[in-house]
Amino acid sequence: MDPSTHVRKKRGTPLESKIKRLSLTLGPNPRRVLLRPFIPSLIVKPLPSHEPNPRVVSLYSRVMHLNEEEVRTKLDEVFFDFHERHERIREIFEARFEQVRHFLPTDRELSKERRLLLGSYFTNEYSLESTALFNPGIIPAPDQSGVPEGDLRFIVSLRATGEGHISSITFRSGIVTCGGEIRMDPVSRFVHQPRPHPAARYELKTFRRKMLEMGVERDAIEVATSELSESFLMSELVAIVRKVRCNPEDPAVCRAAEKALLLAQSNYTVRFREGMDISEKILFPYTPSEINGIEDARFVRFQGEDGQSTYMATYTAYDGNVVLPQMLHTRDFHEFAIYTLNGLAIRNKGFALFPRKIGGHYAMLGRQDGENITLMFSDHLHFWHESSILIRPTHPWEFVQMGNCGSPLETEAGWLLITHGVGPMRKYCLGAALLDRNDPSRVIGRLKQPLLRPGDDEREGYVPNVLYSCGALIHAGNLVLPYAISDTSSRFALVPLADLLSELLQR
């Protein structure tokens, strides 16, 4: 028997006794390191100002005083230490030098070796999953070529957390067989961050509406954006922000201009290099709104009315103070377009999109009040204005709060929704509910007892007593449910779908 199908100790309800908890564990690996910009005294987070600080000037001065032989000797040592840990490290050092060239106190032309060495001094390794690899979601992979009949290739998205508790999105892949075995693909030793690109154009009317939702004064918005056309480029906005910074007569207008720039930066596209393995791709915080991490991506394969599929995910951007719900789109996991979610219903976190329109409208779950699962509909994918409470905490194991565990799954019986509930001692358990297929505002079934609760060997970790998931899938009669263990690592469970639906329809 494949070791991943080992059945862990069962306890709880009759339904729980039929669940297979697989021994396969996806755990944090500190050896997976990403090359990131480094500025002395600012280890991980982006530089808030483009002005050089005294330590940067001192560092430049020391490197500039080395003779060429000393430069070559030190550069050879750096390459010896790091070239096997990273691909294209010379290109990265060269690009990093260009990013900090403006700090140089001279226009003197430098040798290639000195440029590379300076680039290395302003670069550091970041172990992106050294602390945790958790909150997984699972979706069918776009490419099913070469997969045996009856099996399914999948992609798992995970929240990786490293130094400074900075979170990013990483991926794994594998196959679930028709017999219920899960086989993970090898994980690359390398990781890469894509190059971001601003959105092609921004719509002024939409932009102003979102700024109002962000709490910016209406009059200040009008003044700060008065010179923008109805459809504008990032370069036009940057020019206006620079102009306002140079003439700070009205602090409210200055703040509005800065907020406008922050909003524009939160809508962008990233592209990975062709031929990369999915495990090498990292969506790392890029914009100021993401400086403290991007968290808990809930991926769904969305079926458009034209029959085309797009993979979408909601996630939480966090700058240390403000939570900003975002959405990303991709067709191939090579290019990702990131958008801000807008509207009065976009509050708090935990949004999850239904995999198709219902009654001609987009549908999404959320938790606007921090306690209840809410449902909302919209005619526009990125604007959500109204919501209503769908499910309230009812049973003791969910009295503190409830939330969804990813997008609902469509079955003949209805929309299957995996939930989480928080009870005494802040213990997180997973539950389930069933929603009407044509009217998901109608709950037609709900488990009174948890579907899955922390096992004896799953209670210790970065945050004890927590089970959590960001998405499941259905295959060969099973609910394939990845779940996080105490905010540290991730495992899988197989739930017989027929038994789960039967339990839900009895209640």
Same domain, residue pair 422 and 485: yes
Positive or negative, the CA dihedral 298, 342, 226, 241 is negative
Same domain, residue pair 322 and 453: yes
Alpha-carbon span 390 to 365, nearest angstrom: 9
Q: Is 245 helix (H, G, I), strand (E, B) or coil?
A: helix
Q: Which of the four pLDDT bands, split at 50, 70 and 90, describes residue 265?
A: confident
Which of the listed residues 99, 126, 153 is the one where a domain comes to its end? 126
- Mean pLDDT of the region 341-346: 90
- Mean pLDDT of the region 317-331: 88
* Residues facing 351 on adjacent strands: none
Paired tokens of 231: 């459809």
CB 345 within 8 A of CB 384: yes
Task: For residue 66, give the DSSP letter.
Answer: S
- Mean pLDDT of the region 428-447: 98
Positive or negative, the CA dihedral 442, 445, 446, 451 is negative
Same domain, residue pair 313 and 400: yes
Domain count, the chain: 3
- Mean pLDDT of the region 28-42: 88
Higher-pLDDT residue of 505 and 43 is 505
Same domain, residue pair 324 and 464: yes
Alpha-carbon span 470 to 489, nearest angstrom: 13
Same domain, residue pair 207 and 148: no
Same domain, residue pair 79 and 177: no
The answer for residues whose C-beta is within 8 angstroms of residue 88's C-beta and 6 or more apart is none
Does the pLDDT value for residue 152 go beyond 50? yes
277 CB-contact burial (10 Å; exposed 0-12 / middle 13-18 / buried 19+): middle
Closest CA to 209 of 260, 245, 250, 261: 260
Same domain, residue pair 69 and 79: yes
Same domain, residue pair 306 and 326: yes
Say what the pTM is. 0.90
- Mean pLDDT of the region 240-248: 81
Same domain, residue pair 383 and 247: no
Which of the listed residues 265, 297, 313 is the one where a domain comes to its end? 265
CA 148 to chain centre: 31
Instruction: Please list, residue by residue across 260-276, b when 16 or more beta carbons sit within 10 angstroms of its beta carbon and e when fewer do.
Output: bbbbbbbbbbbebeeeb
Q: pLDDT tens-digit profile of 158-201? A: 999 999 899 999 999 999 999 999 999 999 999 999 988 888 78
Q: Which of the four pLDDT bands, split at 50, 70 and 90, describes residue 10?
A: very low
Biggest CA pair distance of the chain: 80
- The CA angle 156-43-281, to the nearest 5 degrees, is 20
CB 443 within 8 A of CB 474: no
Closest CA to 418 of 300, 312, 506: 300
Alpha-carbon span 213 to 204, nearest angstrom: 14
pLDDT, residue 507, reads 60
Instruction: Please list, residue by residue across 52-86, b when 16 or more beta carbons sit within 10 angstroms of its beta carbon and e when fewer do.
Output: beeebeebbeebeeeeeeebbebbeebeeebeeeb
The answer for residues whose C-beta is within 8 angstroms of residue 420's C-beta and 6 or more apart is 402, 403, 404, 405, 428, 429, 430, 431, 467, 468, 469
Residues for the chain: how many in total?
A: 507
Q: pLDDT tens-digit profile of 373-405? A: 999 999 999 999 999 999 999 999 999 999 999
CA 206 to chain centre: 24
Concatenating the DSSP letter of every residue in 407-433 gives S-EEETTEEEEEEEEE-GGG-EEEEEE
Q: Which of the four pLDDT bands, split at 50, 70 and 90, describes residue 71?
A: very high
Rounded alpha-carbon distances, angstroms, from residue 208 to 107, 259, 265, 287, 475: 42, 11, 15, 19, 44
Alpha-carbon span 416 to 433, nearest angstrom: 6
Same domain, residue pair 116 and 143: no
- The CA angle 100-257-340, to the nearest 5 degrees, is 85
Any idea what the CATH number is for the domain that residue 281 is in? 2.115.10.20
Same domain, residue pair 416 and 357: yes
Which of the listed residues 232, 265, 298 is the one where a domain comes to its end? 265
* Residues facing 411 on adjacent strands: 414
- Domain coverage including residue 416: 3-30+128-195+267-505
Same domain, residue pair 121 and 257: no
Paired tokens of 340: 């801000």
- The CA angle 214-319-120, to the nearest 5 degrees, is 140
Distance between first and last Cα of the chain: 36
Q: Which of the four pLDDT bands, split at 50, 70 and 90, describes residue 39?
A: confident
Do strands 401-404 and 478-485 pair parallel, antiparallel, or not at all (unpaired)?
A: unpaired
- Mean pLDDT of the region 465-492: 98
Backbone angles phi, psi at 237, to 5 degrees: -65, -40
Task: For residue 53, give the DSSP letter.
Answer: P
